[in-house]
Structures are given as structure tokens and as C-alpha cells.
Amino acid sequence: MSSTTYSNPRLFIGDKEITNFASVGFTESGKSQVSKLNVNIPDPELRRATLENKELKFFLNYGSDDNVPFFRGRIRQATPTDTAIQIVAHDVRTFLTGIESIPLSLTDESNYDGFTLGQFLHSYITEFVNINETVIGLDMLNDTDPVVSLSNVRGRKLNALKIVTSNLKDNQNDFNDIRLNRLMVRDDGTKSNIVFVKEQGLDDAAIRFSYSDGIKTLQVKKRPAPNLLSTEVEGVNVIYKHNNFTKGITGANIKGNFTSPDEATKAAFIQAKKAETDIEITLDTTKGHYLDIGNVVFISVQDYPEVTGKHRIVSKSVNCSKTAVTCKLQLAKERPQLSEYFSS
């Protein structure tokens, strides 16, 4: 699959096709955050139009068997210059966060205790978002695996998306299954739906990359893993030494709230083991445009033996001009299976 596969990119604002766009840039990161599309259009007439909140659709290969938009969202910024207009559009998760969302005030008397994350989102979107029209599709909305329920979420001006992502983060330390759940967007051809997607397993590697198949350029960064971690538990200093100090000391705080030194020590070990695999890989590729954040890929390169193997996608960007479509993937080394070190 090369960049020339995408031979017919097309852009629509509302029902109007924009044929003279100069460039389109898509970015998506992990942690279930809003994805964005940046568009440059050298059109003086369009500069005078009212564009905010209009629907924008972008197709990588319009007219093919797959007529589902690569991106569908709402225009959030339209900035004119002397010769063009710069547009920023966000996907539908924008209605769950920031100024686009209705903030929640949760108390002991009014809250979502006992709601699963799927039930919470269905209730919130039905009540506060899909009031006069279907802004966010709920046909695909499911629950996380394993199911995560809300408990004791309290406060004023709470952000719906942050409630979801915070609870996903707090429930990701399953020693027997390190795959994360993410809140993703799926387009069904008529609207954008939200759905919880669990990361692929290591046996489900979606696609292989090598210099002869997909990789244009490759960059590798290795950050030093901490080997001296510390925190304080009920007035007691807890210090954990990981491996040896032959290459010097790299310190870090133990992350979390702990009730005992043993609990803190265990958390320190987990933190250090995860950091051992902290290799950041960036690929400029000719394929992989439709891969999801969290997908597993296999890299085979001879000049970086430590890179050959399986990695997860943690962010993605796709850039399009009238002549080419390029893709950049940022990968992270697969996290260790912690059940190998602890009994559940």
C-alpha cells in the first residue's frame, strides 16, 4: 500500500466540496484525546464565509469502495490570512471536553455512582449533547473490557471526557492484561460514533514495516530508565533500587498514593519495568494511514536490532497535498507483562 493508493482526496465543508485546498494535516494522539484536522485553503471568497461549527469531512480516496470519511468533525477555528484561510476542525469528542461541553457538578446527592463508563457517556450525551440533532452517534457505544464503573466522582465544572480518561487510567494496571481501553471515533458513513476499543493483543499484529515495505525514514530515541525511586508513605521514606548503578543513577518519584511501604515498593518495580521498554520510534511511512492508536505493528530493520519486534502506535499524523499523502507513526515498545513478576 503506497501513498499513490490515495489518488482522490476530497474535502467537504457542509455539502460544498472544496476543490482548491492546498494542504490537509491530521493528528491523533493516545489517551482518548480529540483528533484534529488542519486545512489550508487559498480562497479569498471562503475567507468571508461563516465557517465555525460547520461540519467538515475529508476523504483520502473518495469514490473507492470505502466512502466513509477518513475524518469527520466540526470547524472550531477559521483564521484568515492575506491570501488564504487556515481551518482547524475537531472530531466529535470535542463536545465532551473544554468550552464545547456542558460542565457537570456532582455531589453526594446527584452523581453517577454505579454507572459504567458506557452508561455514563450515553446518559451525558443524550441529556446534554444530542438535544436537537444527533451530534455524537451512540449506535456503537459499548462498555470497557473489563467493565469500569464510576464511584465517588465529585466536584464542580467537571469535564465529561476527563472523567472517562481519568477512570480509564486508574483502571489500567491489570497485571494479567496490559491492554488499554480507549475511547475512539468510528464513522458509519452518515455520522461519527464513539466506541470503547481495547488495544490489540500481541498475537494480532496488524501490519509489518521494513525499509523495503513501508518505511521511508526511521528515528529512534531511548530514554534512561530510573534505577533509584523514592516516595514517602505515612512519614516513612521508601527507596527502591532497581538493577545496578553501573551507568550512573537516574532518580524518579514513585507515582501513586500508597497505604504501605510494600505497596509503594511494588509500584516502584512496575514503574521501573515499564520504563525499561521506553523506546520512542518515529516512522515516516507509505502505509498505515488507517491504523488505530493502540494497534500493534512489527518492525524489521537491521540497523537497529533493539527496534526489531512488536510495538504499539501511540500517535499518528497524516498529511495530504494535491500530489502526495504521507503518514507518520510514533511507536512505543510493548509494555512488559507484569504477571510474569507478580502473582495475581
Is CATH 2.130.10.10 the classification given to domain 3-90?
no
* pLDDT value for 229: 84
Residues in Cβ contact with 292 at an 8 Å cutoff, skipping those fewer than 6 apart: 184, 197, 313
For the chain, give the percent of residues with pLDDT over 90: 54
Please give the grid coordinates belonging to residue 320.
495530504
Name residue, grid cell 497505604: 259
Tell me the pLDDT band of 293, cut-offs 50, 70 and 90. very high
Q: pLDDT, tens digit, for every residue of 132-175?
A: 999 999 999 999 999 999 999 999 999 999 999 999 876 655 54
pTM confidence score? 0.83
Q: How far apart are CA 9 and CA 338, in angstroms?
A: 44
- Residue ranges of the domains in the chain? 3-90, 103-198, 202-340
* pLDDT value for 205: 63
* pLDDT value for 4: 43
* pLDDT value for 344: 43
Tell me the pLDDT band of 3, cut-offs 50, 70 and 90. very low
Beta-carbon neighbour count of residue 29 at 10 Å? Answer: 15
* pLDDT value for 176: 54
